[in-house]
Amino acid sequence: MTAYVSAFDLFSIGVGPSSSHTVGPMRAARDFALRVPHPERVAHVTCELYGSLGATGIGHGTPGAVVAGLSGFAPETVDPVLVRDAWQEWADGAPLLFAGVQPVPFSRNDITFAPFTRLPGHPNAMKLTVSDTKGVELASEVYYSIGGGFIRREGEADAVAAESFPLSFATADRLLALCAEHGLTIAEIARRNEESRRTSDEVDAGIDAIWTAMDSCINAGLHAKGLLPGLLKVRRRAGAIREQLDNEAGSGKALPGDWLGTFALAVNEENAAGGRVVTAPTNGAAGILPAVARYWVEFVSDTDDPRPGMREFLLTATALGSLFKANASISGAEGGCQAEVGSACAMAAGGLTAVMGGTPEQVENAAEIAMEHHLGLTCDPVGGLVQIPCIERNAIAASTAVTAARLAMRGDGAHYVSLDTVVETMRQTGIDMSTKYKETSEGGLAVNVVEC
Ligand code: SF4
């Protein structure tokens, strides 16, 4: 078995605010709609959202994503505006174009919420059913949104986990051994795996497109102002801070760390607003990698063309993120925020170490440092929205990633706690964590902050 997950699965270009609650459900609903053999016979469609999807689905835009997916839209190409208000503003009985071909009367209460029903496959579960004009069921499927936008249909294996690659590894130890055996960096191991599916030019072009989307998201957030959607009325900060930093240019006041945090805020505010975001490895944690990568471009690197370094950064992060996905979790509903923000921080720390010239051992060390200090971090989004604490948390984690990389670069890669040990600790801690702290908004800040 290999842990490796392709960069093109791990970093998917989609919509906010959540990979598990928006992107995954949209993919599941679309997959279901396109599988129904005779869509022209469909007269009624329903969706039940279970567990965490039922608990925080409304705040995370899940119903709108289901409507968009049932209509045949994909997260990669859909206009985010079509998803944002698709369910909230739906007129009861208005036609939904099922699978993009069949008009079906649809009402908001055709989507139901069952937060206290937990299916065995995963805390994020949903059931989709279609019936004909006589009420006879035509098809029904259960899907799991297993984190990072990945989905699994009941009864099927995780398609991504079943893939094979030429340079397989199940642990960080094995990854380092592969690097030593072949004389390759971690990014080169990842590249060999990617090139078993695509030409070298296609890998480069694909990674460049991912970075362009990340960078565009930062820029969009840096130039936006106003309130984020939702009851909390959270004010966007990235645009205002960017103006302050621009005004302080040349004064010595605006430090690289100020920009680092602002880049992360920019992405996560775009995500919270339902904008175009790259899942990295989830949407709630989508700001950390782009912020650290842009920090490297603007304040560390002296290259005129950041693309080769960015490919190394993202391929290194892919190999590390694969380990978290395979051996623990990248889903907040499964492992708490340590699985989302912790994983992203470790991926960013490893990527930064690689482009600063670190050895594979130093990369592994940086990822381990970054993850170790996120162990036990809970997921408790206020109001079920991916805003508080998520947005600021990405800025803090970006700074932790830079610190972890710098510490690792000052050593020789030798260290006490291995990355594999930390990944296993994260898995066990996730199992022990109360469901109150796993994207249900039933504990922590979510119950102690009064919603306006
Ligand atoms: S608290 Fe962390 S895991 Fe939970 S929604 Fe926010 S970013 Fe995601």
pLDDT in tens, 208-220: 999 999 999 999 9
Helix axes 172-182, 186-194, angle to 10 degrees: 90
Which atom of ligand 1 is nearest the CA belonging to 56?
5
| Per-residue pLDDT, 452 | 57
| pLDDT exceeds cutoff 70 at 275 | yes
Which atom of ligand 1 is nearest the CA belonging to 378?
1
Strand-strand pairing, 111-114 and 44-50: parallel
Distance CA(114)–CA(124), nearest Å, equals 11
Residue from 337, 378, 382, 437 to probe ligand 1 pocket by mutation (most atoms less than 8 Å from CB) = 337
340 touches ligand 1 (CB under 6 Å): yes
341 touches ligand 1 (CB under 6 Å): yes
| pLDDT exceeds cutoff 90 at 88 | no
| Per-residue pLDDT, 162 | 61
| Per-residue pLDDT, 86 | 84
The CA-atom distances, in angstroms, between 319 and each of 13, 179, 188, 348 are 18, 12, 10, 11
| Per-residue pLDDT, 163 | 77
Q: Whose CA is nearest to atom 8 of ligand 1?
A: 284
Rounded to a whole number of angstroms, the distance between the first and last alpha carbons of the chain is 49
Question: Residue 157 — pLDDT band, cuts 50, 70, 90?
Answer: confident
Question: Residue 160 — pLDDT band, cuts 50, 70, 90?
Answer: low
Which atom of ligand 1 is nearest the CA belonging to 394?
7
Distance CA(268)–CA(288), nearest Å, equals 9
> What is the percent of the chain with per-residue pLDDT over 70, rounded to a whole number?
99
| Per-residue pLDDT, 282 | 95
Fold of 16-153: 60s Ribosomal Protein L30; Chain: A; (3.30.1330)
| pLDDT exceeds cutoff 70 at 21 | yes
Length of the chain: 452
User: In this structure, are residues 300 and 306 in contact, taking their beta carbons and an 8 Å threshold?
Assistant: no
Look over the chain and give the mean of its residue pLDDT values, rounded to a whole number.
Answer: 95
| Per-residue pLDDT, 255 | 96
Question: Residue 159 — pLDDT band, cuts 50, 70, 90?
Answer: low
* Å from CA of 93 to ligand 1 middle: 34
Q: Whose CA is nearest to atom 2 of ligand 1?
A: 337
At 373-396, the pLDDT tens digits run 999 999 999 999 999 999 999 999
| pLDDT exceeds cutoff 90 at 272 | yes
Residue from 341, 378, 391 to probe ligand 1 pocket by mutation (most atoms less than 8 Å from CB) = 341
288 touches ligand 1 (CB under 6 Å): no
Structural domain spans, the chain: 16-153, 172-448
At 326-372, the pLDDT tens digits run 999 999 999 999 999 999 999 999 999 999 999 999 999 999 999 99
Which atom of ligand 1 is nearest the CA belonging to 336?
3
| Per-residue pLDDT, 378 | 98
Contacts of 449 (CB under 8 A, 6+ apart): 382, 388
Question: Residue 415 — pLDDT band, cuts 50, 70, 90?
Answer: very high
Question: Residue 161 — pLDDT band, cuts 50, 70, 90?
Answer: low
* Å from CA of 386 to ligand 1 middle: 6
| 428: phi then psi, degrees, rounded to nearest 5 | -65, -40
| pLDDT exceeds cutoff 60 at 36 | yes
| Per-residue pLDDT, 84 | 79
> What is the percent of the chain with per-residue pLDDT over 90, rounded to a whole number?
92
* Å from CA of 375 to ligand 1 middle: 14
Distance CA(118)–CA(408), nearest Å, equals 41
284 touches ligand 1 (CB under 6 Å): yes
Residue from 23, 340, 396, 436 to probe ligand 1 pocket by mutation (most atoms less than 8 Å from CB) = 340
More confident of the two residues 261 and 440:
261
User: In this structure, are residues 143 and 152 in contact, taking their beta carbons and an 8 Å threshold?
Assistant: yes
Nearest to 21 by CA among 105, 102, 126, 100: 126
* Å from CA of 374 to ligand 1 middle: 12
